[in-house]
Structures are given as C-alpha cells and as structure tokens.
C-alpha cells in the first residue's frame, strides 16, 4: 500500500466503526493510504481485525483495533479515552457499523426491527456522542455517516433496513445544523449496490433489474466508495455539511 503523492489526511486520526471487514475495511485502508492514523472497532472477527491492523502498521501508520460494540456506551467511552490519550484527538469519525437482514415486514420479529435500528441509528448516536466533546473542544472535526441508496430512494429493500438508513440522513442534517458553529462538519454517504455485504443477498432477478437501471451497468466496489469517503472527510471538502452524497453509478 503506497501513499499517494499528496495525502488528503496527513497527520489526522480517524475512527471507523465496524472497520474490520467489508466497506469498513476498505475505508480504513484508503484513509491510511491518505495519511491518517486509523482506529476501528469490531464485534467478532479477531483474525480479520488483527490482519487489518498489521497491514496498516506495516504501511507505516499507527493503528488501533478495539473489540467493542457500538451499543456499549462504557466501552465506546474507554475506546475514545484511550485514543485521545495517545493522539492529539480524533479528527474524523465514520459511522459505518451496521447489519443486514432480508425478511418481509409481515414475518419480521420485533427483535429483528430493534437490532437493525439499534445497530445503525443508536450505534451512530452513541459513537458520535463519545467523540463529539473532543471535536467541539478543539473546534475541528469531520463526521461521515454511511447510509444507503435504500435510505434515500424508493426501492425494493427490507423495510427495517431502509428505515434505519433513512434515519441516518435525518441524523446528518440535524446534527450538521447543531454543531456547525464549532467547526465540525457532518455529511452522509449513500452507496448503491456494492460487490459484497448486504448486496450479496439480493436475488438474481432483483440484481438484474438494478443493473438494467444503472447507467454504468455494474455494481460498485468497496474501494470506490472509500475513495469518495476519504475526500468527504478531508480539509479539501471544507464547505459541505448536512449533505447526502449518492454513489450508485446513476440508477
């Protein structure tokens, strides 16, 4: 992993929730390539987390991996405290942690709904709250919330997933208004269908229908979304806040 000629994020410290696999892993890799020191949390796969941490350290970046749920307020507090004690503070937060499940509303259990909303929405709330005081104190920060095309356009997708992802847009807009005076920006990134993750559960017929409406005629990659994210949390993106950017190949 070679650094770019002009790193976007040199000297910054970034925290990515749900960072050990999938899009989260790509986010960590691209942020590190762009000069950031990267911390991430994960829930289960210690092997994935350790391989990513080792990769980023080998590339010359500081990296921290924390096994902690985004729903565990004390653990999040300890994670942020540890990072702030070892760095000049957390400059970037990417709320990426999430879950996927394909089930029709008529067959959905209450626990299914709660798990989806808790992980995406409450997790973003708790993670943001944990880092926000430090950003306000330093009067600097970048927060990026990962939504989905299913949260901003009417399309066939699990109702609880679409609802949770739509909530991320509202969270972004209201928080941007609240904390902009402190020099902290808040934006939202809504990817379309990607190579893996939730998209891998799409039935073949629905995927074909999606591709028939996609101007680029293909699904996106984690790396492509991560490249956009790196710009959004950089100082080169200094006047965008409260916005939701769709990355879907023109559906």
Measured between alpha carbons, how far is 187 from 231 in angstroms, rounded to an integer?
11
pLDDT in tens, 15-54: 999 999 999 999 999 999 999 999 999 998 899 999 999 9
Residues 218, 194 contacting (CB under 8 angstroms): no
Measured between alpha carbons, how far is 88 from 82 in angstroms, rounded to an integer?
11
Q: Using alpha carbons, list the distances in angstroms from residue 7 to 31, 56, 135, 159, 235.
A: 9, 15, 22, 39, 11
Sequence-separated (6 or more) residues with CB below 8 Å from residue 148: 157, 161, 162, 165, 190, 191, 198
Domain 13-247 has CATH 3.40.50.2300: no
Region at 92 (left for phi over 0; alpha for psi -120 to 50; beta for the rest): beta
The pLDDT assigned to 1 comes to: 55
pLDDT in tens, 94-139: 999 999 999 999 999 999 999 999 999 999 999 999 999 999 999 9
Measured between alpha carbons, how far is 234 from 246 in angstroms, rounded to an integer?
18
pLDDT in tens, 145-187: 999 999 999 988 999 999 999 999 999 999 999 999 999 999 9
pLDDT in tens, 235-248: 999 999 999 999 99
Helix (H) or strand (E) holding 64: strand 63-67
Residue 42 designated active-site: no
Classified as helix, coil or strand, 220 is strand
Q: Using alpha carbons, list the distances in angstroms from residue 108 to 45, 160, 164, 197.
A: 27, 9, 15, 20
Q: Which of 161, 182, 210, 239 is catalytic?
A: 161
């Amino acid at each position: 992993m070679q650094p770019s000629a002009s790193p976007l994020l040199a000297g910054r410290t970034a925290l990515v929730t749900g960072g050990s696999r999938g899009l989260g892993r790509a986010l960590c890799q691209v942020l590190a390539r762009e000069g950031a020191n990267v911390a991430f949390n994960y829930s289960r796969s210690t092997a994935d987390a350790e391989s990513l941490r080792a990769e980023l350290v080998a590339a010359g970046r500081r990296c921290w991996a924390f096994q902690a749920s985004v729903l565990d307020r004390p653990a999040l507090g300890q994670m942020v405290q540890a990072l702030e004690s070892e760095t000049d503070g957390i400059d970037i937060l990417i709320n990426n942690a999430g879950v996927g499940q394909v089930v029709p509303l008529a067959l959905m259990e209450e626990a299914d709904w709660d798990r989806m909303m808790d992980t995406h929405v409450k997790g973003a709330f708790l993670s943001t709250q944990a880092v926000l005081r430090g950003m306000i104190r330093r009067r600097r920060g970048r927060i990026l919330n990962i939504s989905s095309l299913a949260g901003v356009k009417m399309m066939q997708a699990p109702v609880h997933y679409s609802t949770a992802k739509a909530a991320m847009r509202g969270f972004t807009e209201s928080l941007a208004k609240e904390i902009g005076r402190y020099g902290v920006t808040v934006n939202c990134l809504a990817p379309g269908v990607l190579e893996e993750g939730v998209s891998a559960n799409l039935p073949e017929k629905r995927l074909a229908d999606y591709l028939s409406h996609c101007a680029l005629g293909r699904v996106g990659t984690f790396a492509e979304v991560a490249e956009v994210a790196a710009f959004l949390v950089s100082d080169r993106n200094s006047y965008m806040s409260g916005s939701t950017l769709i990355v879907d190949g023109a559906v």
